[in-house]
């Protein structure tokens, strides 16, 4: 169960002020979690992951690639390429996401309507 579900269950009729207070609490808690995940820990975790997927020879080839002109270009262009991919993917998926949200909303409304019929 997510913290948001816990909140909705505990305070189903939360006021906007209560929702804002909750979001602030969650933001602070997550900030505290990530503040304690130090770069040394990140690097230590990454090293073991890389070691499980790449041999030393593989890593030397990767280093050679990223030291080359095309590897440097790849590093420079990567953020723009990922941003472009996100825009293209979002445009492609947006109609499907909207349809899925509409369907979920209809199912929720059916549940609300069914629940209302039970109390009558």
More confidently predicted of 3 and 120: 3
In the chain, the percentage of residues whose pLDDT exceeds 90 is 37
Q: What is the mean pLDDT of the chain?
A: 87
- pLDDT tens figures, 24-56: 888 888 887 777 778 888 899 999 999 999 999
pLDDT band at residue 1, thresholds of 50, 70 and 90?
low
Is residue 99's pLDDT more than 80?
Answer: yes
Buried/exposed 16-46: b ≥16 CB within 10 Å, e otherwise: eeeeeebeeeeeeeeeeeeeeeeeeeeeeee
Six-digit token string for 29: 């808690």
Residues belonging to the chain: 120
């Amino acid at each position: 169960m997510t913290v948001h579900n816990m909140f909705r269950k505990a305070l189903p009729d939360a006021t906007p002020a209560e929702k804002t207070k909750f979001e602030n609490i969650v933001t602070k808690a997550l900030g505290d979690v990530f503040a304690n995940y130090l770069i040394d820990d990140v690097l230590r975790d990454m090293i073991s992951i890389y070691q499980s997927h790449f041999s030393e020879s593989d890593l030397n080839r990767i280093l050679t690639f990223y030291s080359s002109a095309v590897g440097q270009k790849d590093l420079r262009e990567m953020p723009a390429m990922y941003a472009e991919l996100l825009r293209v993917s979002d445009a492609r998926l947006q109609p499907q996401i909207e349809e899925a949200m509409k369907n979920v909303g209809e199912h929720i409304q059916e549940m609300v309507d069914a629940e209302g019929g039970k109390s009558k």
